[in-house]
Amino acid sequence: MARIALVPFFAWALLVDDGQSVVWRLVATAIFLVAAASDRLDGYLARSRNLVTDLGKLLDPIADKALIGAAVILLWWPLGELPWWVPAVILVRELGITVMRMAVLKYAVMPASRGGKLKTVLQIVAISLFLLPLDQLPDLVRVVAWVVLVAAMVVTVVTGVDYAVRGWQLRRTARAAASRASAV
């Protein structure tokens, strides 16, 4: 819940002075990184203390999508620092996978894959770099930000396709098993 609560503060800090304040960009970056890091800490604590709850399973992906979604949307519009296709690809993938996971939920829960975790790390690193006041930093930082963003976008698309294929196979296998069971 704390991560979800941080999203409006992050957005506000990013948009102070139309995103031109170096200090507020750094504050926004810090809030984003704290929220992103708290995801890892929250998951570790829940698993290590056997406190995994249905509410946590529901809120965790919502918090992730709210944080990443707010960041890429605001960096696109109104700040104009990312092209439109970056939030479009990320949001279409995330919403599509969420819908697909809900559709196959009656058959099984699809856990996050290693590729999905890599996608999240790359997105967080890329977004963190773009949140920095890049016009105040050496050009190399902007180049690194774009390289990491392109890598994140490739992994976003590849893992999205992988999840879709696995979801389709899971559904097909479960239906075949149900069909065989009803024939017996």
User: Per-domain residue ranges for the chain?
Assistant: 2-183
Is the distance from CB of 98 to CB of 88 less than 8 angstroms? no
CA max distance for the chain = 70
Extract the tokens encoding 7. Answer: 């999203």
Q: How far apart are CA 117 and CA 112, in angstroms?
A: 7
Q: How far apart are CA 151 and CA 134, in angstroms?
A: 19
Summarised one tens digit per residue, pLDDT across range 107-134 is 887 878 899 989 999 999 999 999 999 9
What does the DSSP 8-state code read for residue 41?
A: H
Per-residue pLDDT of the chain (184 residues; tens, 9 = 90+): 889 999 999 999 999 999 999 999 999 999 999 999 998 888 888 889 998 887 777 788 889 999 999 999 999 999 999 999 999 999 999 999 989 988 888 888 787 889 998 999 999 999 999 999 999 999 999 999 999 999 999 999 999 999 999 999 998 998 898 888 888 7
SS3 112: coil
Among 168, 75, 154, CA closest to 118: 154
CATH number of 2-183: 1.20.120
Among 48, 65, 168, 46, CA closest to 107: 168
Cα-Cα-Cα-Cα dihedral sign, residues 164, 165, 168, 170: negative
Q: How far apart are CA 3 and CA 33, in angstroms?
A: 11
